[in-house]
Amino acid sequence: DAGVTQSPTHLIKTRGQQVTLRCSPKSGHDTVSWYQQALGQGPQFIFQYYEEEERQRGNFPDRFSGHQFPNYSSELNVNALLLGDSALYLCASSLFDRDFHGYTFGSGTRLTVV
Amino acid sequence: DAKTTQPNSMESNEEEPVHLPCNHSTISGTDYIHWYRQLPSQGPEYVIHGLTSNVNNRMASLAIAEDRKSSTLILHRATLRDAAVYYCILRSTGANNLFFGTGTRLTVIP
């Protein structure tokens, strides 16, 4: 049973460019959340997608956007990259119900902005 | 979401028990206590969660204080593979997401 799959594993981009990160949730999960983890910090919540809609959003600018597809997979897009966007981007999947059992995380995409 | 306080780092000898503390003095009656850990170069992984009663699973035990203002994650016999950052997180009932702090970095000494 495959867990959460993220691609690519590593990425180097130049300031001002745009990037798209991809996530396939664990089989049976319908909700995808994205987190940004700077070096030495805990993961910070970016947003969550369920039924192809953004359901919750953390304190991130509009440069960060996302999408969820009918098969529950998701993309995270970041426009106008800044050096400070360099981080590990984590995708987590779960079931969107009241009896929340927690997330399954992927191993992340390491984004470096130069 | 209510805040948690954890020590920045802890050390333990291999094959000895480890008690990782977490303070959450502003916890509400409907907040669940979740623990995740993050091994090097990996995403966080679920360890255990509870509401009021102590909980056990194959990975660890969770001891919750009677007033619920603190909890302790117990690893019964630390191995080198338990070296990780451990996060204690509060989640409101009905909330479908988790907000992480900076966690406790556990070092296991051979």
Q: Kindly tell me if the per-residue pLDDT of A77 is higher than 60.
A: yes
In this prediction, residue B7 carries a pLDDT of 97
Amino acid at A89: Y
pLDDT in tens, A87-109: 999 999 998 875 666 789 999 99
CB contact under 8 A, A103 and B41: no
CA dist list (Å): A80 to A53, A55, A61, B36: 23, 24, 11, 32
What average pLDDT does range A37-51 have in this prediction?
Answer: 94
pLDDT band at residue B99 under the 50/70/90 scheme: confident
pLDDT of residue A99: 61
Record: contact A48-B102, CB cut-off 8 A: no
pLDDT the model gives residue B91: 87
Query: How confident is the model at residue A1, as a pLDDT?
Result: 58
Tally of CA atoms within 13 A in the half-sphere of A38 that contains its CB: 10
Q: What is the pLDDT of residues B29-60, one digit of tens each?
A: 889 999 999 999 899 999 999 999 999 999 99
For chain A, what percent of residues have pLDDT higher than 70?
A: 95
- Across the strands, what pairs with A90? A35
Mutate to test the interface with A, among B8, B57, B96 (most CBs of A within 10 A): B96
Determine contact: B5 vs chain A, CB below 8 A: no
**Considering only CB atoms, which chain A residues are within 8 Å of B98?**
45, 102-103
CA–CA separation, A114 and A82 (whole Å): 8
